[in-house]
Structure 1
Amino acid sequence: MILPLVAAFLTSQSPPAPAPGPNEPEEPNRRQQTVVTASRAERKLEDVVVATEVITREQIDALGVRDLGQLLQQQPGVELVYTFRGVGLRLQGLDPEYVLVLVDGERVSGRVGTTLDLGRFSLREVERVEIVKGPAAALYGADAMGGVVNLITRRVQRPLELGGRGMFGTLLEGDARANAGTKQGPFELRVGGGFRRRDAYDWQPEDAATSGAALQRFDGDLSLAYAPDERTRVWLRGGYARRDENAVDLNPSGAVLDRRQRQEQFDVSLGSRHQLADGPSLLVRGHFGLFREQLLQDQRGSRALDDYSQNFTRLYEGLVQGDHRLGAHALTGGVEVLGERLNSARLERSPVSRIRGGVFLQDEWDVLPGTDGEGLRLKVAPGLRFDLDSQFGGAPSPRLAIKLDPSPALTVRASAGLGFRPPSFQELYLRFTNTGIGYVVSGNPDLTAEHSAAVNVGVDWRPPLSGWLFSASAFHTRLRDLINVTAGGVPNPDDPVTFNYENVARAYTQGIELNGRVKLPVRSTYLDLAYTFLDARDLTRDRPLEGRSRHRVNAQLTTRYRPLNLEAVVRGSWVSCRTYFLGVGGGMANVIGYGEDTPTGAPAYVDLEAQVTYRFRSSGIELFVNGYNLLNAGDQQFNPRPPRGVLGGIQWDY
């Protein structure tokens, strides 16, 4: 009752928002959206040379998602990878270790193994999510072979901003978040916090193990900024998040283990941007991230398999970047330094550290600028980055991108580039022993970096019908020096076998992606359709890359009925059969596909979710009901996502 009363008081102090007029667009022009990821500088979406997908704050709220993994669950061209250490992300068939996740352009510390858990990102302060598929190493360096996902946080725009959101539903899931901000002259302040919890769930109740862990998450952040004019901005941001998970695991030998995992993340960032009177702008930024993970595995009825581990990852990042418009050329260049340090008892030597410096330059050249949006337009964007790693030496990452607009209704984009990924600390130095099954995983300090070469081509067509858009794209990525796991025997408790990492694999991923957006005859109703075909193959083993769906269909229906202040979103996806290779040895063999691999097909499934929202237009209050995984798609082994559920809640913004 308190929230509506506060909203009523605030709205009594200001006039209600006017209803859209008959000639107003039903939704903002997406092509005028400002993005930064593709160029590391602000550009209009219609002007970027490399295709960029944008998920806005309005879309995030309309879908009712609680974290980044749920947001991208049904995003076209995106696949999620579920592991007991978190949810990872595939782009264009490339695994999570080849996809770079950023927050305001800054790296996020704390990959567990090779996966950065998307469940750690609550979206509470996110203004939009930008996705760039394909090679991005020319600007971002290592780990961007498959693409970049960049979360852009909100800025304070008004003297007073308040907001809150709360929801509760199936699995006793609760999510509460709040934020406040103020802009007073040149000063900006924003503070926020959130809490989320959920019970564990189980797709196979006949055994002791759970499919998904019970979780609790706390997070908070503070942002300060000083902007005396439009050309200068200085900011300081800090945030802390803690995520606790409790689950039950069943060891292949029959032992039952209670698993408790805690992840803590702390980040602080200081930066400034200044634009000179004659046009050039300078960005200077520093970032420190600290990630701590604790994992306890407690065997029931015995101490033989009890295990506790603690990892500390420290990330240091510095950037100096300049942007300048020189005639027909928009130049972006800079120097970036990245340092990583890991403390872990599971490494042969600890702590381990590395430092990497990179120099990059990109030129967006308007070869044919067109006139007043008419005529042939051509942009060419050559880019090059050179990284020098303290362990792996130098690595160039060139890219050439082209954007051609034969007419206002047609855009053609193409890019080709190289990328690389240095081995992780775990791949280099891991020393892990599982006595219950009988295997040892040993890192290899002689590993070299993995490399890729990729080509992307895409076409956008905007027919002369409001709200309609069609696009088609194709991609091919060739990978070499991939790191595989090899062994010389079968796991045995009496004579443990050692699994090693080796640069022995070659692979490729290629495919097409088709997208269409249609405005239906019903006012304010849009239908989005997408189809993705993926061919991903391990050339060394002459078999498909594991876990990829060959075909995927996405659909989303969005409608608004303004007379009743109602909005509804329904989105679904069909995912074809995926191939996995299970080894005969069990345990680690099943994890890495060792032994006499037996191909196993995970069944196709349909995922469906929906949200209905009612808006009190004059008060800023929204009531919503969200249903997820409505067809109850999932299983214990290949798709251990949460089962069918319903959430209801309230949101308020001022």
Structure 2
Amino acid sequence: MMLLTNTTHAETAPAQPTTDTALNPVFITANPLGSTTLAAPASTLYGDALTLRRADSLGATLNGLPGVSTTTYGPMVGRPIIRGMDGDRIRVLQNGVASYDASSLSYDHAVPEDTLSVERIEIVRGPAALLYGGNAIGGVVNTIDNRIPRDPIEGVSGQVDASYGGANDARAGAAQVEGGNGRFAFHVDAFDRETSNERIPGFAHSDRQRALDGPDVAQPYGSIPNSDGRWHGGAVGTSYTWADGYAGISYNGYEANYGSVAEDDVRLRMHQDHIAAASEIRNLQGPFSQLRFNFAYTDYEHKEIDDGVTGTTFRNHGYEARIEARHRNIGPLEGAIGVQLSQNTFSALGDEALVPTSQTTNAALFGLEEWNVTDALKLSLGARYEHVSIDPTSGGNEKFAGSPQRDFNAGSVSAGALFKLNTAWSVAGNVAYTERAPTYYELYSNGPHDATGQYLIGNPDAQKEKAISTDLSLRFANGANKASAGVFYSRFRNYLTEFNTGRLVNDDDEPVPPGTDDALNEAVYRGVRAEFYGIELDGTWRVFDRGAQRLDVEFVADYTHARNVDTGEPLPRISPLRATLALDYAYGPYGARTELVHAWPQHRVPEDDLPTGSYTTLGVILTYKFRVGSTHWLAYVRGQNLTNQEVRYASSVVRDIAPEGGRSVMVGLRTAF
């Protein structure tokens, strides 16, 4: 498994042809100018690297990259966390535009996307992601596929993936076929994944949680009840390509059925339809040399079914459109401007109707300019201005009656610099001022949320979240040897977060005494001053390279410190200091990787949270590449947590009742033709 970071785009060339799909080495996310050298701290995964990292959720797939952790709510639920920020502060995109779901609202809601269908994943950390909105203050995760073929295709090609194993007996498979005549191209894909209950090395509940449970509570051992699931989907797409561009459309569908690890009788059934259109026109005459257009419409629904009865139905449907225009150079300036429009309607109907039906409309203008001052110094300046309108409707529910419509004007600006000290060393820095409008759930929540054990109350008078963020990194790149050491800092003036009031209430927000069955912690959204800072380290060093053999040593480490400035109290769900040391060996078609991960304890938690302990895990991956006729094959065996450690992520809201999986072995096979 190869970890690609800091805008590195090509895997080390193996001794024989690989199964990787040839990719245009342009970093799309956060730079409409298509530059391969970004001041932003960024990572990209594709090809073999992505195949060997794939997990049962998007968050788990990216967990362990510099500055990236994950939420968890069982094996198939995980949304990326970047630099300690989650929810609406991280934009999860599909081909550069939104794919609406309910994953930012609650930790038990999965991201309706399987990495088996993804060609590449790009991650941009920190302030350079503001071109995608104030709600990208933490960063952007952009999954990119070829469902709308962007380049001419001659003939027919395809790919098949299959794997089995893991701590939950995951059975996964995917297939795709692409073809074309050099002008018209098509793409078809399908995927399916099914898991059993997650096996764990001991009790599901932590030592501290079992002490709080008392002697009369049954304690699951060896596996996590109701953690199984199945999800499947597919897509069709077509495009017309010519020398200076392409235009196409696609449709993809997603179905899921999985259990809630916090409620033994609750299942979540999810469905999403996603229609996309995209086009790019290059070498235009006039003031603009290139235009890029992306549009997507999403219709999403999921039902929470308690003992066979649908309790709550969540729906989210809407569109997002984005146009980017690259202008011809204005003196030394190279740049692009763009417009983004979106509208979506979210509703939660039933027993857990914690928010009113709300329509959110967003219109934004953005731009980016770069100036190559000298061969050694490049400067960039980006800005975005957006208008956000949130219009709630009570729908006959009295507790939402009188919820006011809110309108916000939010502006953001960022500046970046990349300075080459010499041919190997460079320094990169970014600074940004960002404004984020509150979401519908931060404004209007008023209802029980059993998945987190809370009764949530929004703040309809909440103001914009404002932050100043900066990061600075020292980078080294010399052939196969690469390294980066970075620091970051963000300070929020009005950080919107949940605060427990100390009251225990029932589903009607009426006070109940301690020990009452199904009692909920009352929590309110409140704006506070907050700060986040930390470090990110990663590097690869080739220690041996002779003939068909090579050996790389890789190191990754990160740490985030986050606190409420007003009280000094730690913010919740922050990953502790983590470090990964790996040896990556290749001999002709054979490969072997050993990876040791250590996470320190997390004792910096809010007063009502429980701390997490340290863990050390060992992983091993063995690979073999071969050819059969004109087909390329990759066979692999992946062992994870071979030390069978009890792993509880500090970033998980269910860490004390549902740990990560124990020792597991997975076998997989991929072929391309």
- Equivalent residue for 1:578? 602
Write the deviation string for residues 449-469 of structure 1: whole angstroms up to 9, x where unpaired. Answer: 322210111111235xx4112
Q: Does 1:291 align with 2:314?
A: no
State the Cα distance separating 1:197 from its structure 2 match. Answer: 0.4
- Equivalent residue for 1:70? 60
Amino acid at match of 1:527: V
- Contact persistence 2:195–2:230 (CA under 8 A): yes
State the Cα distance separating 1:247 from its structure 2 match. Answer: 4.4
- Contact persistence 1:347–1:429 (CA under 8 A): no
Amino acid at match of 2:368: Q
Write the deviation string for residues 86-145 of structure 1: whole angstroms up to 9, x where unpaired. Answer: 322221222333111112111221133535866633222322221111114531113100
State the Cα distance separating 1:316 from its structure 2 match. Answer: 1.1
Matches within 5 A, 1:227-266: 227-229=241-243, 231-247=244-260, 249=262, 257-266=264-273
Amino acid at match of 1:120: P
Amino acid at match of 1:81: T
Task: Pick closer, same or farther for the CA change 1:504–1:349 going to 2, 3 Å.
Answer: closer
- Equivalent residue for 2:656? 637
State the Cα distance separating 1:355 from its structure 2 match. Answer: 0.4
Amino acid at match of 1:109: Y
Q: Does 1:166 align with 2:170?
A: no
State the Cα distance separating 1:73 from its structure 2 match. Answer: 2.2
Write the deviation string for residues 6-42 of structure 1: whole angstroms up to 9, x where unpaired. Answer: xxxxxxxxxxxxxx899x99999x9993211121342
Amino acid at match of 1:192: D
- Contact persistence 2:73–2:658 (CA under 8 A): no
- Contact persistence 2:60–2:78 (CA under 8 A): no
Q: 65-74 vs 488-497, which deviates more?
A: 488-497
- Equivalent residue for 1:526? 552
- Equivalent residue for 2:44? 54
The TM-score, its normalising length taken from structure 1, stands at 0.83
State the Cα distance separating 1:474 from its structure 2 match. Answer: 0.9
Amino acid at match of 1:260: R
Matches within 5 A, 1:274-289: 274-278=281-285, 280-289=289-298
Q: Does the residue aligned with 1:544 lie in a helix, a strand or coil?
A: coil
Q: Does 1:406 align with 2:421?
A: yes
Q: Distance in 2 between matches of 1:549 and 1:436?
A: 21
Amino acid at match of 2:562: A
Task: Pick closer, same or farther for the CA change 1:200–1:124 going to 2, 3 Å.
Answer: same
Q: Distance in 2 between matches of 1:26 and 1:259?
A: 44
Task: Pick closer, same or farther for the CA change 1:627–1:148 going to 2, 3 Å.
Answer: same
Task: Pick closer, same or farther for the CA change 1:638–1:57 going to 2, 3 Å.
Answer: farther
Task: Pick closer, same or farther for the CA change 1:258–1:566 going to 2, 3 Å.
Answer: same
Q: Does 1:383 align with 2:382?
A: yes
Q: Does 1:623 align with 2:620?
A: no
Picking from 620, 633, 636, the partner of 1:610 is 620
State the Cα distance separating 1:66 from its structure 2 match. Answer: 4.8
Amino acid at match of 2:161: R
Task: Pick closer, same or farther for the CA change 1:421–1:571 going to 2, 3 Å.
Answer: farther
Q: Does 1:185 align with 2:182?
A: yes
Q: Distance in 1 between matches of 2:522 and 2:182?
A: 61
Amino acid at match of 1:222: V
Q: Across the two proteins, how many residue pairs are aligned to each other? A: 593
Q: Distance in 1 between matches of 2:56 and 2:178?
A: 21
- Equivalent residue for 2:140? 148
Write the deviation string for residues 256-290 of structure 1: whole angstroms up to 9, x where unpaired. Answer: x4011012222111122112344711123321112
Task: Pick closer, same or farther for the CA change 1:392–1:236 going to 2, 3 Å.
Answer: same
Aligned-CA RMSD value? 3.1
Q: Distance in 2 between matches of 1:437 and 1:165?
A: 36
State the Cα distance separating 1:367 from its structure 2 match. Answer: 1.3
Q: Does 1:360 align with 2:366?
A: yes
Q: Distance in 2 between matches of 1:487 and 1:285?
A: 41
Picking from 214, 230, 235, the partner of 1:221 is 235
Q: Distance in 1 between matches of 2:179 and 2:599?
A: 45
Write the deviation string for residues 602-654 of structure 1: whole angstroms up to 9, x where unpaired. Answer: 10112332221222234412322121222223255176222221122322111
Identity %: 20
- Equivalent residue for 2:6? none
Picking from 91, 108, 111, the partner of 2:99 is 108
Write the deviation string for residues 65-99 of structure 1: whole angstroms up to 9, x where unpaired. Answer: 45423321222221112236932222122233311
Q: Distance in 1 between matches of 2:182 and 2:601?
A: 57
- Contact persistence 1:418–1:454 (CA under 8 A): yes
Matches within 5 A, 1:59-138: 59-63=49-53, 65-83=55-73, 86-114=77-105, 120-136=112-128, 138=130
| Runs (5+) with no aligned partner, structure 1 | 1-19, 251-256, 300-305, 371-376, 582-592
Task: Pick closer, same or farther for the CA change 1:387–1:54 going to 2, 3 Å.
Answer: same
Task: Pick closer, same or farther for the CA change 1:449–1:498 going to 2, 3 Å.
Answer: farther
Amino acid at match of 2:425: L
Amino acid at match of 1:541: T
Matches within 5 A, 1:445-594: 445-463=460-478, 466-486=479-499, 488-492=501-505, 495-496=511-512, 499-522=522-545, 523-562=549-588, 565-579=589-603, 581=605
Picking from 336, 343, 353, the partner of 1:339 is 343
Task: Pick closer, same or farther for the CA change 1:31–1:556 going to 2, 3 Å.
Answer: farther
Write the deviation string for residues 351-382 of structure 1: whole angstroms up to 9, x where unpaired. Answer: 210201100111111111x2xxxxxx211111
Q: 79-88 vs 528-537, which deviates more?
A: 79-88
- Contact persistence 2:57–2:77 (CA under 8 A): no
Amino acid at match of 1:548: I
- Contact persistence 1:210–1:247 (CA under 8 A): no
| Runs (5+) with no aligned partner, structure 2 | 1-12, 205-217, 390-405, 513-519, 649-654
State the Cα distance separating 1:553 from its structure 2 match. Answer: 0.6
Task: Pick closer, same or farther for the CA change 1:274–1:412 going to 2, 3 Å.
Answer: same
- Equivalent residue for 1:588? none
- Equivalent residue for 2:516? none
Q: Distance in 2 between matches of 1:211 and 1:88?
A: 21
Task: Pick closer, same or farther for the CA change 1:520–1:599 going to 2, 3 Å.
Answer: same
- Contact persistence 2:577–2:600 (CA under 8 A): yes
State the Cα distance separating 1:484 from its structure 2 match. Answer: 3.3
- Equivalent residue for 2:4? none
- Equivalent residue for 1:7? none
Q: Does the residue aligned with 1:579 lie in a helix, a strand or coil?
A: coil
Write the deviation string for residues 170-205 of structure 1: whole angstroms up to 9, x where unpaired. Answer: 433200111100021211111000110001126436
- Contact persistence 2:316–2:345 (CA under 8 A): yes
- Contact persistence 1:136–1:146 (CA under 8 A): no
- Equivalent residue for 1:200? 197
Task: Pick closer, same or farther for the CA change 1:114–1:632 going to 2, 3 Å.
Answer: farther
Task: Pick closer, same or farther for the CA change 1:125–1:88 going to 2, 3 Å.
Answer: closer
Amino acid at match of 1:82: T
- Contact persistence 1:547–1:578 (CA under 8 A): no
Amino acid at match of 2:130: A
Q: Distance in 1 between matches of 2:612 and 2:115?
A: 31
- Contact persistence 1:392–1:449 (CA under 8 A): no
Q: 82-91 vs 528-537, which deviates more?
A: 82-91
Amino acid at match of 1:270: A
- Contact persistence 1:99–1:149 (CA under 8 A): yes
- Contact persistence 2:343–2:361 (CA under 8 A): yes
State the Cα distance separating 1:579 from its structure 2 match. Answer: 3.2
- Equivalent residue for 2:432? 417
